[in-house]
Structure 1
Amino acid sequence: MTDIFYETITPNRHLPFRLLIHDNGVAHRVLSHWHHSFEIAYVITGENTNFTVNGQHFDQSKGEVVVINPYEVHRLDLPTDHKRVALTVMLPNDILTASNIAIETHIQNRIPNDTQLQGYFNTLYQTTRHPATTGTQAEQIGLVYLILSDLVTHYSQADATKRTPHYSAQMDHLSPVITWIDRHYQEKITVEKLAGIANLSASYFAHLFQKYLNQSPLVYVTSRRLLAAEKQLLTTSDSLEAIAFTTGFPNVKALNVAFKHHFSQSPNQYRLTHQ
């Protein structure tokens, strides 16, 4: 696995969580990533196809709730589907703390047919069709707390968390490094530099990174650079020379080799077929 990155959850304005609506039907790729908190996905119409959670591949159908627990690696690769309407709720740790929910709590990943949860999500979606007033936002907050309460009450799996405290401690050890890479991937980066940020020896840091993120530190750096390069290819008309320079690749040849290995297309081919 060569495309995992860490994501920080930034709440919507005036809401204590991040609420995303997916209803434009366009193809959409979310590369493999993880974060410290819960992510909850729900499909109102259509499907979320090509969902992967911790290596398990499936299609999320209408009315199904999918819960991504803290530190679970996940990705999504959606084709064009103008019938698809879906919601994603991303919960920062502040909500968990305020609700006395431990980050070690593990919730069942797939919940296919809970009418109570379906009602909450359908109502939540309807609130997004209304003007963003204080009353609407209060209703959205209340609904998300009801969803979270229902999930923890009926679908938490205590037995599945036995290894989570140690696992989360190691991920917490690595997350400052991931954050630093996210901000400095354009620079020249060495394992020794990253190990210094983690206050570890280079050899132990590389071992820890490989064990918990299933890839070497420098492979991760390349993946982060490729993510930035992909975005620039699709959203700008910048030359490959400019993209290579601004994303940390030493030259266009290095960008071409890494990009083709990862996406099975050259950057120019990818730009032509995806714009």
Structure 2
Amino acid sequence: MGVCRTITDETLREAVSHGKSDYPFAYYPEDIWRFDFHRIGWHWHNELEFLVAASGNAVCCVGEDKINLPQGCGVFINSGILHRFEAYQSVYAPNIVFAPSLLAPEESLIYQKYVRPVIVLSAPYQILEPHIVWQRQILQILGQIFALQEEGGRNELSTVRMLLEIWDLLEKNMAQASGLPKLRRLNHKQAQLQTMIQFIHDHYMEEITLEEIAGAASLSKSGALHIFQSGIHTSPVAYLIGYRLSRAAAELLTTQKPVSVIASDTGFASAGYFCRKFRQHYHMSAGEYRKGKQGKNMAERMYQIKQ
């Protein structure tokens, strides 16, 4: 199977529809290790998300927080919260993403009394640990939901019933955010961060400086460094290099351009520097990456033909 990537727009909003308009629910039985750079990259969505580290240990980054998720633990990510998942080995992490309106229509009493307060007033995330009774109950129900999706068939009604059970536990026990102003400040910083990220995405092929990246959000260089570090735990320049490398990797797989041309097209000053950075991130040369991925794709196509 090929490398997975997190697809987002210029604001880091996930550019994927989770489910359908008449049933906004999606189940993803994912291995974080299979994603580009072994992480489900920074993204946000209006939907609610539950993820469980079913096999292996995962890391969840939310805003300035970096949380270890040992095997058997999980996390709830609230609506509109920027987050990322990382792995240092194979981590099977099934997760569900669904619209709050799946629990109840937005104009209903149920939504206004029990759903909206959690979204608006509660913390941006909730760690789920098996040694805490109500959290263990949520983890058990999540396991049932995952199993139900694997079975397929007519499972929508049972899925929603169990989501309501989870929400009942969450609404009764999840602490309100003591730092609601902090969440608002985080959203303001997030907007500045997304503005700078959009600038990088638009100009990564050019020679751009830290001062120019900061200027895109009307910040000083030190302000840009602080927002990148507190928001996504990296520097603007490191993010720029990582984004250039991801674009170069896509070019390696989809074109026959020489490595030197790809390096130039993706903003690297020299092919030598590009090759060093590529090996550092992907633990193989650009040529090995191209050859290995193309060979794997060919093998998968031949297997499908035989089937």
Q: TM-score, normalised by structure 1?
A: 0.68
1:30 aligns with 2:42: no
- Number of aligned residue pairs: 258
In 2 relative to 1, CA 177–7 (structure 1 residues): closer, same or farther, beyond 3 Å?
same
Q: In structure 1, give the amino acid aligned to 2:178.
A: D
Give the share of equivalent positions with the same residue, in percent.
19
Structure 2 stretches lacking a partner, 5+ long: 1-7, 107-114, 297-307
Corresponding position of 1:217: 236
Contiguous gaps of at least 5 residues in structure 1? none
Contact 2:53 2:69 in 1 (8 A): no
Aligned to 1:20: 28
Change in CA separation of 1:131 and 1:196 when aligned onto 2, cut-off 3 Å: same
Distance 1:11 1:141, change over 3 A: farther
* TM-score normalised by structure 2 residue count: 0.63
Aligned: 1:249 with 2:268: yes
Alpha-carbon distance, 1:181 to partner: 3.5
**Mapped pair 1:109 → 2:127:** yes
1:138-217 to 2 correspondence within 5 Å? 138-159=157-178, 161=180, 163-182=182-201, 185-191=204-210, 194=213, 197-198=216-217, 200=218, 204-214=219-229, 215-217=234-236
Distance of aligned partners of 1:71 and 1:190 in 2 relative to their CA distance in 1, 3 Å threshold = farther
**Distance (whole Å) between structure 2 residues aligned to residue 185 and residue 94 of structure 1:** 38
Decide whether the 8 Å contact of 2:19 with 2:98 is kept in 1. Answer: no
Q: 1:75 to 1:43 in 2, by over 3 A?
A: closer
Greater C-alpha Rg: 2
Between the aligned partners of 1:216 and 1:33, the Cα distance in structure 2 is 14
SS in 2 for 1:13: coil
Aligned residues: CA RMSD: 4.2
Q: Distance in 1 between matches of 2:151 and 2:89?
A: 28
